């Protein structure tokens, strides 16, 4: 179809890439060819100073007074507001708290509160496991709640006027298939259901516009394409029209006046009510470094480059690996996939190990999937040449071993 | 009653104190007289290297491979096992996860699962607010659950054979009153209820023996007397006899094989099943520094010194502040109080500000309480002299201002 790609051509794309300078903002694992940012994004170098500041200048010098004196109390909303900018939300519709799983539980319970009288939650087979576990647990505990788990192609049909909520992950972790958020949210709304999106594989990777899509709730992790650090805290989004509801799992940090220590819960204004425990200040300091880099780069440019990296990957696999069993599992159309390309091959596990030995870090998902995370801030076009080239060489080497 | 205390005598106690060297292990806020460790413990100096290692040598150099290669997956249990040692639990009965509030929710739901057919949870007025908020939220969502909130003196009477759970905070945050854990747990068991203890103000401060007390569940925060850092992750304890139950709010990190990505939740062995989201590795690295110092010092010596610091504080207040309205709100008997002394005075708010101006950092709890955190690892006997002396001077200064 298209021209034959060469390493020189890909190098020329890197030379023109306006995002190229951001690569130096990260400490890249191994030899610097890191395709695992869809699992754990690399460390922004700025975390060193940021962590030193919060640990030594704040915690160390001022102790507990830092909760107000150093703006610690404001950090969950401040960092949330920056993430909002990346995914089409208003700054006061997102806050940082807990983990994606816990936030999902909170948002599902909040949705059920709003949808009194409706008890069905629709989701899909192949949703990320933790999302399914949380949904099933709520169904087991809250009287009447039912989880309807259907195949992707049956989602629209599964929505009826008994549905309280459509709960989906926007970009599938295993295939990189991207849902049409606006279309599915519209279908949910047509039957009176609300829509909750898990953006763990979306934020900082693909175009997301929560408000243009009329999304009701969202959650997401920050340690993948937002480069927030291992186990970084997650975020949650509640559309402004739903923000007056009572929070689920309410804790003292969500109280209107936490330091009054009232036995009665009075929710804080806006998203703050969805905080539960004490904000994780050290983790927030690292997270903010990753988010700042994404904001500085401009999410539009990041999304555009991510899509192009994906196109190049698919083209190269087709051009260079046609004599292998390696096939592209991810959608061809950029609007239908995430910022990773998933390859299927019976040799997946062995190949991932062999690539790692060459300093090329990619990800294996059992039983037979190789995931190539294409994070626009630090993955170069030439890196894609190298990893596809190495896949071809190692595939042949494996075949020689088998035949010997 | 006893001898008149002098600063010289208190200095002599410091000179004999085997824990004195630990003071240098902390970066102490202000001028180093920090009585706010019951709110946020100070920074262990070792956090600098520990954080550098996990951020740069692990995350930076190895990225996501650190989950196995650098033992990240084991850290929640590893740090939990060290805390277990401080509070009379077996190493495999405690794990680090989430916040105290979220863990409380998990443990309450786990207890309700075990206690099928019983629906009443007994707690007390004056429990820490977040505990009450979580209990009430569960009662509002889970059919049939009822929260019975009674005065402290009515706790034993409130237990009957409809009770599923007694849920209490061991040491009260406002008065420093300590419950008799063994006696109350026994009373709960006598009627077939289980007992859940919030140890936020206990661990690293007072004698706790969960297993000798036959406690069923416990939770606690780590940023007070364990010096784990602002918003450090919390811990949870499940007695071994209850560990086969299904976890509440189950997430992918609690699965027996998280990287199989099964749609069906199969709980991991032991406490790991109570993990929900991805462990917060950076926060865990800081936390472990605080816990290691406590383990190194020996919790027995810490508890003993804490009690003595409290005795000295009470004696000094009585000797030096008898002509003020400042009164000791905390119990006199060491076994009945925590490692803080709470003082009541109408001037509390003004006095706390004036002490702060002198570099003496104490804590105010509205409307009229001054809290003096007496953390044995870095508070000296002579510091108590100085803070009580300053209280007397500033009280008089305030009176002069009023009379002028």
pLDDT of residue A34: 98
Residue bearing the bigger pLDDT, B365 or A248: A248
Q: Do B99 and A277 touch (CB under 8 A)?
A: yes
What is the 3-state composition of chain B as percent helix, strand, coil, each rounded to the nearest 5? 45, 15, 35
Segment holding B306, helix H or strand E: helix B299-320
Residue A354 appears among annotated catalytic residues: no
pLDDT of residue B402: 87
Q: Single out the residue of B302, B315, B317 nearest to residue B375, CA to CA.
A: B302
Helix (H, G, I), strand (E, B) or coil at B165: strand
A54-72 pLDDT, tens digit per residue, is 999 999 999 999 998 999 9
> Is there a contact between B236 and B103 (Cβ–Cβ < 8 Å)?
yes
Cα–Cα distance measured from residue B225 to residue B205, given in angstroms and rounded to the nearest whole number = 6
Q: What percent of chain A has pLDDT over 70?
A: 100
pLDDT of residue B403: 87
**Looking at beta carbons, which residues of chain A come within 8 Å of B110?**
none
What residues contact B374, with CB distance under 8 A and at least 6 apart? B35, B306, B309, B310, B313, B339, B340, B341, B384
A197 φ/ψ angles, rounded to the nearest 5 degrees = -115, 130
> What burial class does residue A153 get, using C-beta atoms within 10 Å of its C-beta: 0-12 exposed, 13-18 middle, 19+ buried?
exposed
Interface test with A, best of B32, B230, B234, B284 (most A CBs within 10 A): B230
The CA-atom distances, in angstroms, between A296 and each of A84, A86, A292, B31 are 14, 11, 6, 39
B43 in reach of chain A (CB within 8 A): yes
Residue bearing the bigger pLDDT, A4 or B223: B223
Residue A128 appears among annotated catalytic residues: yes
pLDDT of residue B155: 97
Residue A106 appears among annotated catalytic residues: no
Cα–Cα distance measured from residue B385 to residue B320, given in angstroms and rounded to the nearest whole number = 10
Cα–Cα distance measured from residue B303 to residue B292, given in angstroms and rounded to the nearest whole number = 16
Pairing state of beta strands B120-124 and B163-169?
parallel
> Is there a contact between A293 and A44 (Cβ–Cβ < 8 Å)?
yes
pLDDT of residue A3: 79
pLDDT of residue B226: 98
Pairing state of beta strands A120-124 and A163-169?
parallel
Give this complex's ipTM.
0.97
**Looking at beta carbons, which residues of chain A come within 8 Å of B128?**
252, 261
Residue A299 confidence (pLDDT) above 80: yes
Q: Do A137 and B250 touch (CB under 8 A)?
A: yes
Helix (H, G, I), strand (E, B) or coil at B187: helix
pLDDT of residue B1: 47
| Structure tokens, A317 | 């696999």
- In the predicted model, residues of chain B with pLDDT beneath 70 are 1-2
Residue A250 confidence (pLDDT) above 70: yes
B265 in reach of chain A (CB within 8 A): yes
Q: Do B60 and A230 touch (CB under 8 A)?
A: no
> Is there a contact between A75 and A281 (Cβ–Cβ < 8 Å)?
yes
Cα–Cα distance measured from residue B342 to residue B348, given in angstroms and rounded to the nearest whole number = 11
B95 φ/ψ angles, rounded to the nearest 5 degrees = -140, 155
pLDDT of residue B2: 63
**Looking at beta carbons, which residues of chain B come within 8 Å of A366?**
259-261
Q: Which of B98, B131, B198, B363 is catalytic?
A: B198
> Is there a contact between B331 and B398 (Cβ–Cβ < 8 Å)?
no
Residue B128 appears among annotated catalytic residues: yes
Per-residue pLDDT band for A1 (boundaries 50, 70, 90) equals very low
Q: Do B281 and A39 touch (CB under 8 A)?
A: no
Written in H, E and C, the secondary structure of chain A is CCCCCCHHHHHHHHHHCCCHHHHHHEECCCCCEECCCCCCCCEECCHHHHHHHHHHHHHHHHHHHHHHHCCHHHHHHHHHHHHHHHCCCCHHHEEEECCHHHHHHHHHHHHHHHCCCCCEEEEECCCCHHHHHHHHHHHHHCCCCEEEEECHHHHHHHCCCCEEEEEEECECCCCCEECCHHHHHHHHHHCCCEEEEECCCCCCCCCCCCCCCCCCEEEECCCCCCCCCCCCCEEEEECHHHCCCCCCCCCHHHECCHHHCCCCCCECCHHHHHCCCCCCHHHHHHHHHHHHHHHHHCHHHHHHHHHHHHHHHHHHHHHHCCCCCCEECCCCCHHHECCEEEEECCCHHHHHHHHHHCCEECEEECCCEEEEECCCCCCCHHHHHHHHHHHHHHHHHHHHHHHC
Q: Nearest 5°: CA angle at A123, between A119 and A124?
A: 150
Report helix angle A348-357 to A381-403, nearest 10. Answer: 120
* Number of Cβ within a 10 Å radius of residue B305: 23
Pairing state of beta strands A360-361 and A33-34?
parallel
| Structure tokens, B156 | 């034993």
Whole-model pTM: value is 0.97
DSSP string, B110-144: HHHHHTTT--EEEEETTS-HHHHHHHHHHHHHSTT
Cα–Cα distance measured from residue B254 to residue B171, given in angstroms and rounded to the nearest whole number = 30
Cβ contacts below 8 Å, chain A against chain B, sum to: 273
**Looking at beta carbons, which residues of chain B come within 8 Å of A142?**
141-143
> Is there a contact between B131 and B167 (Cβ–Cβ < 8 Å)?
yes
B245 in reach of chain A (CB within 8 A): no
| Structure tokens, B91 | 């190493």
pLDDT of residue B263: 94
Q: Which of A22, A223, A235, A381 is catalytic?
A: A223
A389-401 pLDDT, tens digit per residue, is 999 999 999 999 8
Cα–Cα distance measured from residue A248 to residue A151, given in angstroms and rounded to the nearest whole number = 29
Range A101-130 average pLDDT:
96
Written in H, E and C, the secondary structure of B271-287 is HHHHCCCCCCHHHHHHH
pLDDT of residue A214: 98
The structure tokens 């690892």 sit at B377
Cα–Cα distance measured from residue B218 to residue B225, given in angstroms and rounded to the nearest whole number = 16
A323-364 pLDDT, tens digit per residue, is 999 999 999 999 999 999 999 999 999 999 999 999 999 999
The CA-atom distances, in angstroms, between A306 and each of A63, A265, A389, B113 are 42, 44, 20, 46
Question: Torsion angle, CA of A262/B229/B181/B207, rounded to 10 degrees?
Answer: -140
pLDDT of residue A2: 63
CA distance A4 to chain B (A): 33
Helix (H, G, I), strand (E, B) or coil at B167: strand
Q: Nearest 5°: CA angle at B308, between B305 and B311?
A: 155
> Is there a contact between B81 and B94 (Cβ–Cβ < 8 Å)?
yes
């Amino acid at each position: 179809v298209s021209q034959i790609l060469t390493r020189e051509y890909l190098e020329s794309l890197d030379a023109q890439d306006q995002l190229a300078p951001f690569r130096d903002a990260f400490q890249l694992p191994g030899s610097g060819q890191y395709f695992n940012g869809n699992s754990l994004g690399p460390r922004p170098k700025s975390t060193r100073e940021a962590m030193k500041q919060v640990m030594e200048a704040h915690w160390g010098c001022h102790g507990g007074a830092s909760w107000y004196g150093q703006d610690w109390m404001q950090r969950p909303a401040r960092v949330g507001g920056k993430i909002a900018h990346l995914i089409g939300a208003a700054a006061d519709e997102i806050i940082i708290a807990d983990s994606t799983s816990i936030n999902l539980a909170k948002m599902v319970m909040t949705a059920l509160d709003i949808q009194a009288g409706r008890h069905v939650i629709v989701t899909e087979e192949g949703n990320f496991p933790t999302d399914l576990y949380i949904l099933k647990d709520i169904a087991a505990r809250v009287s009447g709640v039912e989880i309807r788990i259907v195949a992707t192609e049956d989602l629209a049909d599964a929505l009826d006027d008994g549905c309280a909520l459509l709960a989906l992950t926007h970009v599938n972790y295993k295939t990189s298939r991207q849902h049409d958020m606006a279309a599915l949210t519209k279908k949910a709304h047509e039957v009176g259901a609300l829509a909750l999106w898990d953006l763990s594989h979306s934020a900082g990777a693909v175009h997301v516009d929560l408000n243009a899509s009329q999304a009701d709730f969202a959650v997401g992790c920050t340690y993948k394409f937002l480069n927030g650090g291992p186990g970084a805290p997650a975020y949650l989004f509640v559309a402004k029209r739903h923000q007056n509801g009572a929070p689920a799992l309410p804790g003292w940090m969500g109280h209107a006046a936490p330091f009054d220590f009232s036995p009665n819960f009075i929710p804080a204004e806006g998203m703050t009510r969805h905080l539960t425990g004490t904000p994780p200040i050290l983790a927030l300091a690292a997270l903010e470094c990753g988010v700042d880099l994404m904001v500085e780069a401009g999410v539009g440019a990041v999304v555009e480059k991510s899509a192009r990296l994906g196109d190049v990957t698919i083209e190269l696999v087709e051009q260079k690996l046609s004599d292998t069993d390696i096939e592209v599992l991810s959608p061809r159309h950029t609007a239908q996939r995430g910022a990773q390309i998933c390859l299927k091959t019976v040799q997946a596990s062995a190949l991932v190990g062999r690539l790692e030995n060459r300093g090329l870090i990619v990800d294996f998902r059992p039983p037979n999937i190789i995931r190539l995370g294409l994070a626009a801030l630090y993955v170069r076009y030439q890196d894609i040449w190298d990893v596809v080239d190495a896949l071809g060489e190692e595939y042949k080497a494996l075949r020689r071993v088998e035949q010997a």
